[in-house]
Structure 1
Amino acid sequence: MKNPFFRSVLGDVASSAMGLTYSHEHIIIEDSYLTASHPEFLLNDVEKVSKELSDFQSLGGQTVVETTPANCGRNPLKLAEVSRRSGVNIIAPTGILLEIYYPETHWRYTYSEDQLSDLFIADIQEGIDQFDYSGPIVNRTPHKAGLIKLATGDDAFSAHQEKIFRAVVNAHLATGAPILTHTNFGRQALEQAKLFEKLGAKLDHVVLSHVDRAKEVDYNRAVLDVGVRVEYDSAFRWKTGEPNHTLILLENLLPDYSQQITLGMDMAKNAYWKSYGGGPGLTYLIETIPGFLKEKGLEEYYQNIFFDTPRNLFSFFK
């Protein structure tokens, strides 16, 4: 591609301007079916979210990857507003989250593979629905999706999940948009990677999230050996007195997989946000990871983690 770009909610941006990037965040989660049963996930205060992003921006942060996909609290208008206010690029997703965050009668179960693919493609190429597919009227906004998300749980993939995989890869290959996934504590990550390989996805534009929760170095190595990228976001989650497995994985794997590892916060709970009265806040990685890398003699990988790998990963490939 002559002029690589990523797709933000405010429009396409040259990849060279992506800057310091967090690779898995939840910026806006609107009042929805998801928050009705999980009120701790409600993140819809534009003032508070803009303040947190502005603090991130003041320390050098330039881009965040939002990971709340279709019909589970996504709000493209609020994402656009907080991006404008903070000056932070936001990459918004299409795709489907875990089954538990949707009612049992949801359209995800009845739409065909082609219908799901078409929906994802429309989000990427035409614009995200103002109502996030919550009713019979679709009013597409100018704010387009810049990646596609899917999620799996603890068990072997169901036929329904395999349909989602195929629809996501179809849209990925048709548009050039990158893919980001949820794994439950890293479970089924290796199976995800192998299925993406089988389906013909561009593996260097596929990132599997939360794989640090699997803890084991050899397991993470096996996932990386398939050719996908991984995203770690639990550096602040390990309890006092237990090993910080995220940092252990970085120390062991960065020298061999320097172009395949990214970091994020995944602050889906409002209690993690300083602007909501909690912590550690969105600036945590900027404030802690450089010191860790220096302590371990790994400073040379800072650029890969926060700049080069996200830029290559989240750029469109066609």
Structure 2
Amino acid sequence: MSFIRTVLGDIPAVQAGITYAHEHLIIEESFPTLANPDFLLNDVDKVSAELTEVYAAGGRTMIDTMPANCGRNVLKLAEVSRRTGIQIVVPTGIHLEQYYPKSHWRYQYSEDLLTRLFIADVVDGIDQYDYNGPVVERTTHKAGMIKLATGDEPITPHQETIFRAVVNTHLETGVPILTHTNAGRHALAQAELFDKLGADLRHVVVSHVDRCQDVAYHRALLKTGVRVEFDSAFRWKKSEENGTFRLLELLLPDFSDQIMAGMDAARNTYWRSYGGSPGLTYLLTTFHDELDRRGLSEYWNRLMIDNPTALYSFSKVL
């Protein structure tokens, strides 16, 4: 039976329900928040209040995407899940270089060391200190997804090392893969590299690609077999066409099994519990209503349930 690995344990895949495919639920004080204070999302009471609203509106599963040693706090994620009933998937892996100091261990570790660290997060449990010190004390909370990221520049040799370690972990454990792109840049190159390395592209999702409005590029990307995640629907200015819904209208008829939605609400200014907007119920209210208005309601279950469930299910039994 396929399963999804959440912070509180494995669940049958059919239990996932409505799923936010790319979120940031806890970002602890860390190197990223030094440069971006509005990234700070570490108040368990406020996070729980927001996710309680999501649960009441019908949301059931959320994919946290802050990977190793850049603000991840697995103990707080577990507490939020217990309080709210939201099933949270926690990542391992490595984020963009800008979220780590230049002296970070990511640049020192070999492909083998990175692979072993990622596998341990998936199989044994995540370090309660998130690799911030010399002592490692693994919790019972395991990673259910592995993340990597590329930026504006072409994929670098260092990033290729991360790719290999991520795919090694994926092939060894069956853990699904999520990637970051900067507005869709190098998404096709990511998919081609994953294919070359032998990843199961049905369990790979490329994020943030709806910021790229080149429809031909999207079609080429989707034809590789990877899945894509759109999360910019609430970011378009009212004075401009909403590019996310435009892409959904053009792509869903041909690629309805490969597209999913999230919010990537990594700034506390997006959270109502922190005094911001639009709030994390956006996908279940405004986004849902706009799909109906555009005649796309038939795709709701695929976007929010079927596709993320298939993606985030483990591709093998551990």
**Same fold judged by TM-score > 0.5?**
yes
**In 2, distance between residues paired with 1:10 and 1:68?**
17
How far off is 1:77 after superposition? 0.2
Q: Does 1:120 align with 2:94?
A: no
Counterpart residue number, 2:170: 172
SS at match of 2:19: strand
Q: How does 1:91-170 map to 2 (within 5 A)?
A: 91-170=89-168
**In 1, distance between residues paired with 2:65 and 2:98?**
16
Counterpart residue number, 2:58: 60
How many residues get paired? 316
Counterpart residue number, 1:303: 301
Q: How does 1:33-52 map to 2 (within 5 A)?
A: 33-52=31-50
Identify the match of residue 8 of structure 1 among 1, 6, 9: 6
Counterpart residue number, 1:191: 189
Runs of 4+ in 1 over 3 A off after TM superposition: none
Q: What is the CA deviation profile of residues 237-296 of structure 1, one whole-angstrom value per residue up to 9, with x for unaligned ones?
A: 011211110000001000100010000000000000000000001000110233222222
How far off is 1:222 after superposition? 1.1
Identify the match of residue 237 of structure 1 among 235, 238, 241: 235
Counterpart residue number, 1:86: 84
Q: Does 1:284 align with 2:270?
A: no
How far off is 1:38 after superposition? 1.1
SS at match of 1:223: helix
Q: How does 1:11-26 map to 2 (within 5 A)?
A: 11-26=9-24
Q: Give the gaps of 5 or more residues in structure 2.
A: none
How far off is 1:37 after superposition? 1.4
Counterpart residue number, 1:223: 221
**In 2, distance between residues paired with 1:293 and 1:265?**
15
Q: What is the CA deviation profile of residues 81-136 of structure 1, one whole-angstrom value per residue up to 9, with x for unaligned ones?
A: 00000000000000000000100010000100010011000000000000000100
How far off is 1:149 after superposition? 0.1
Identify the match of residue 27 of structure 2 among 26, 29, 33: 29
**In 1, distance between residues paired with 2:63 and 2:231?**
13
How far off is 1:169 after superposition? 0.3
| Conservation of the 8 A alpha-carbon contact between 2:204 and 2:227 | yes
Counterpart residue number, 1:268: 266
**Structure 2 length normalisation: TM-score?**
0.98
**In 2, distance between residues paired with 1:227 and 1:110?**
33
**In 1, distance between residues paired with 2:296 and 2:96?**
35
